[in-house]
Structures are given as C-alpha cells and as structure tokens.
Amino acid sequence: MFKKLFETGKIGRLELANRMIMSPMLTCYTDGEFVSDRYIAYLAARAQGGVGLITTEVAHVHPLGRLEPNELAIHDDKFLPGLKKLTEAIHAKGAKIAMQIGHGGHRCNSKLIGQQPISASNIAGIWGEEPRPMTIDEIKGLVADFAAAAARAEKAGFDGVELHFAHGYLVRQFLSPYTNKRGDEYGGDLHGRTRLASEIMAAVRQRVGDFPVWARINGDDFLPEGQTHEDAKFLAALLEKNGADAIDVSAGTYESAQWSTQPMFLPQGCLAHLAAGIKGVVSVPVITVGRINTPEFAEQTLTDGKADFVALGRALIADPDFPRKAAEGRGSDIRRCIADNACIDRLIFGGLVCTVNAEVGREAEYQISSAVKPKKVMVAGGGPAGLEAARVAALRGHQVTLYERTGTLGGQVKMADRSPLKGEMRFLIADLVDQVQKLGVQIKLDTPVDSALINEANPDVLIIATGSKIAVPDIPGIDQDNVVTAHDLLADKVTTRQKVAVLGGGRVGIEVAELLSEQGKEITIVERLKRVGHDLGVSYWAASMAGFKKHGVRLLAKAEIQAIEGDTVIVNKEGEKIVVEAETIVLALGVKPVKDLEEAITGTIEYHMIGDCVKPLSCLEAIGEGARIARII
C-alpha cells in the first residue's frame, strides 16, 4: 500500500530502510544533562516500531545554551559514555540514530545557566529575559562549539547530526530580522544574517568529513518581521553549498506558537508546502514535518514530490509502532495523535506526556503483561477512562464487559469535539472504541449500572468510571428556565437564544463560547479568575482569543457572579456592578464527581474508581488512570 514510504533512502552516505524519520522533540527525561535509562527506553520503543531514523532531542553545544534542567548535552567528553549506550540500544533495535545539536540563545534562563543569556541582539524571547548581544569572539567560539559537538556525536556512534537552525533557538535568532538588529557582518541584510549558519555548516563539514550532516530550518517564521519563505530558500541553497546533506523544513517560533506547535485545528501536512518550496532550490533530500498523522497522508506527500522524507513527531509519541503497523497493513490500528498539545503544554511538569498514550515515558514499566489469573471485569462508564481500562484489561487476558448508561461512548470528550478548534478529539474515542471491539470487549449501551446489575453480572473486579456532572452553585436565580448546563448544550439537548452569558471561562466554557460564536450568537464570558482560558495551553489560548476577537465575544475576568435576574446576570467586577444582558445563561462553573455507584456497592467485591468520579481530571489524566488500574488487576 505504501510504496514510497517504504522505499530505502539516503542522506549523504547514510542509508535508511524507509522514508520515515522520528522528529527531534524535547522530553525532559534525561538525568540532568546526561542520558538516562528512561530516555533510552523511550527512544528504543520507537526504534523497535520500525522508523528508519531517530533524531534525538536537541543537545546543547555549550553550557550557556542549556534550556531545561533535564536536557541532553554534548559540550564535553564526559557525556560520551551515556551517548554511546544510547546509540548501541537504538542500533540493537534495527534503527539508525542522529543527534540534533543547538543552542537556546535568548530562550535560556540566567537562573539555570548562571549568567545573562546571549543572542544576536538584546531582543528578548516571548518567555525569556533580555539577552546581551554576542561578541565576534563569542560567535567564532560558537562555530567551533558546533564543530566539536558534531565530532563527539560521530565518536559516540551516531549515524548523523542535525544542526538546529529553526524555531526559537540561537542560530534562528541570527537569521531573523525580528531578533537580529546587529550592524556588523552578522546582521543587516540576508547575507549578513545567514553568515553564522553558513559558517557553522562549513566548519562542521570540515571537521567531520563525509559524516552525514544536515540542518533543520524554518521554512517561514510566520511573523511580520521574521524570516520569510524566500529567505528560507536562500538559506537552504547556501547550506547545501557549504556541505549540508539534507534540509529539514519546519516553521514557526515561540512568538508564532500555532505554527511551531501545530494544534489540531491546523490541517495535516500544514508545512508540506514549505518543504516543496525548498525542494525547488536544492538538490539534496528535503525532509518535511508538521501534523503527518496517517501513513496514507505520508505516502501522498512523498508521491506528490513535496519532500523526500517525512518526519513524524507526535505521531510516534502517540504510537511508536506507526511504521510497523503501516508495513503490516494495519493502518486502522494506529493510535492517532489528536494534537491537543498536552505533550507540549505539560512538558516541564515531569517530562513528556501524551493524552492518547499513557505508556510515554514509562515504556519499561508499562509493558503489557498477561494476567496471572484472568478475571471477569466489569467497567461502569464509557468515557476515556473506562475505555482505556477496558482496552488494557482485555490486552492482559481479562474477560471485560463495559456498561454505558447513555446510547453513545465517549463521555465528555464527545462534547469537546463540538468546538470548531477541537474536531479531532473524536479520533481519540473512535480509536479506543475500535480497539476494545477488536479485543472482544462486550459493550452494553443504554445500561446504567446499579447494585442489582452488579449482583447479576457477579464480576471479580468492578471498575467505576462514571464521570462527573456540571456543578450547580448556590446563586440566586440559578433555577430559572433560561439557565442550562454546558454539558446539555454541547450534547444538543438544549438550544439558546441570541444573547448568551457563559458562566465560567475555563476549558468547557471556552468550548461553549467557540461553538455559539460561530453560530452568530452574542456571547459574554464571565470568569472569576484573572484570565479567561486559564487552563488552556498557549497555542489553543491564542487561537481562542483570536476567534473571540473576530466574533466580538465579550470577556469579563476577575468577575464574581452575584445573581441571575430574568434575562440578566449581575456581576461584581473588582467592586464595579455590571449587568450582563443574557436571554440564555450557560453554566460552565466546574464539575462534581458522580459517586452514586460506590455508595450502592454491597459485599466484598474488589472495585476501583477512576477518572472524574474521583475528582475532576483532564482527558490525559483520565486515560492515565484507566491505564494504571488495568495493569494492576
């Protein structure tokens, strides 16, 4: 089915078994700057899954280039033993491995690196502090640092090196007029701004001979004053001239977050056109990246000649066996990335995570093992927590029956996908349902679980995943007929009139407002915290706010709800009384657990409670709970 995808390919002298490359992605799994067993297990799982080439997360080439406390380093020979252990582990699984090397520049933090960050100019990054401009001597030293790092990578057994010239990193800070205000030979026009990148490429090539070396660049910064696509074409041709064996085309910076993080509201292959543009000006292979979620789309991208290789990032986080399943004709078994970007938004809080794959970062301890004694397992609730528990329990050999009180599976996720920005949430449920059905899980819809049913089914283990319901606080007027819940609205059980007040500006309230504003309703969001959308990641928050501005949605933060009176909501905003006109009021003020089933249990049955019926959880946390519990029964 996938002739192009499984063709052999070459980057310089490096021969690859197929056209799939694992994209570099920060994990925060390392032991400080050193390789850890956790990081090796994470990459080894992807190597075993059949990808042709793995690219590590960025390794900093100098101590001042360190972005995170737990981030790979290659600025000293002391890192070589751990790096050799990594390359040997990947080679043992049949894959090749390259190291991405770079420097964080103005994205670095003085508390971590011990001094003021450096950059092309004194322009701060979106989250960083003001850097100091690098001196000419420091620039020459940086060139030497890259060359030395590439030589160490070869010594450590890597099959190639990728130079990180993209996103918000130091070399890109030189390339972009947005961050490069220098007046010397490393600034000014395009020739000056590309000088550092071309010197690094030339120095690395001279140092390592024919060892495979290529660069990741931005095909476009997507910023008004940033590097343009035409600039990128100039840069790509220059890098090829100075020895690049390939060009890896990404896009965006931390100031243009949606292009560097590519949430689900961007289409598959959203950057492929940029790779195609670069392919038109170079003769070396071109790699494309950006929301390539299915083998069919990857195949078509290659067939259309937009690129020579496809880089899979989050797709391999979601399912490390993506390549193997594609090769075996089991594309429907691939667990699709939904690009909700929990992996990005939660990265610094304990390391890389994935909403759809609870095994990420726990590959060693989360391997599925057969149950010592298969049991009869009853799962009450068909949301994400219950579905994942049923899937893992069935994989372990248990006899599983799942009961759902409504006529459809999915829980609150089936409501979240009503948002125009979150349509791909439906893939999460579709993939889980497909897998539990293939594993022989019995599914009984429109079947509420109570004590009588438990006694009748007589399970060995009961998993309670009954979820939550919208909280209804004690507010005067909240029992009026024009007050509805967000869950009922998103489930199409109620309709609204033209003027709507959404009470609660968290994720659920945002989803309601997005849906209704697209329908042309006049929306006011009332939120007691200081920011509407406080629980959204950066890319989704920015997109939501842009949509609200376009549709004229009124945002009232730091606002306490006093009362609902007819077609108005009385609000106290920092001491000021505000009357919000609203023909329909939608409650999105949080949820409370549904614990009725626990209270109905009699006897000594083994039971476990997971998901929102314990406490309000994100979808990522709910699936994580389902995966954990099913592994211990």
Report pLDDT digits (tens) over 142-152. Answer: 999 999 999 99
Residue 299: pLDDT band (50, 70, 90) is: very high
Q: Provide the pLDDT for residue 600.
A: 81
β-pair partners for 524: 501, 554
CB atoms within 10 A of CB 267: 11
Q: Provide the pLDDT for residue 128.
A: 72
Active-site entry in 29, 39, 42, 169: 169
- Asked whether the CA dihedral 596, 597, 602, 606 is positive or negative, the reply is negative
Which CATH code, of 3.30.565.10, 3.40.720.10, 1.10.3660.10, 3.40.50.720, is assigned to 376-469+593-632?
A: 3.40.50.720
Residue 542: pLDDT band (50, 70, 90) is: confident
CATH of domain 483-589: 3.50.50.60
Report pLDDT digits (tens) over 228-270. Answer: 999 999 999 999 999 999 999 999 987 887 888 888 989 999 9
Q: Provide the pLDDT for residue 573.
A: 95
DSSP state of 367: -
Mean pLDDT along residues 344-372: 92
Q: Provide the pLDDT for residue 538.
A: 80
- Asked whether the CA dihedral 116, 122, 127, 129 is positive or negative, the reply is positive
Q: Provide the pLDDT for residue 552.
A: 97
Q: Provide the pLDDT for residue 186.
A: 98
Write down the domain spans for the chain: 9-345, 376-469+593-632, 483-589
Report pLDDT digits (tens) over 430-450. Answer: 999 999 999 999 999 999 999
Number of residues assigned to the chain: 633
Q: How many C-alpha atoms does 453 have within 13 Å on its Cβ side?
A: 16
Mean pLDDT of the chain: 95
pLDDT of 452 over the 90 cut: yes
Dihedrals phi, psi of 487, to nearest 5 degrees: -65, -45
pLDDT of 598 over the 90 cut: no
Output the six-digit token pair for 393.
């329990």
Cβ atoms of 16 and 287 within 8 Å: the answer is no
Q: Provide the pLDDT for residue 350.
A: 84
Q: Provide the pLDDT for residue 126.
A: 77
Model-level pTM? 0.94
Query: How is domain 9-345 classified at the CATH fold level?
Result: TIM Barrel (3.20.20)
29 has catalytic annotation: no
CB atoms within 10 A of CB 42: 23
Mean pLDDT along residues 307-328: 98
Backbone conformation region of residue 12, classed left if phi is above 0, alpha if psi is from -120 to 50, else beta: left
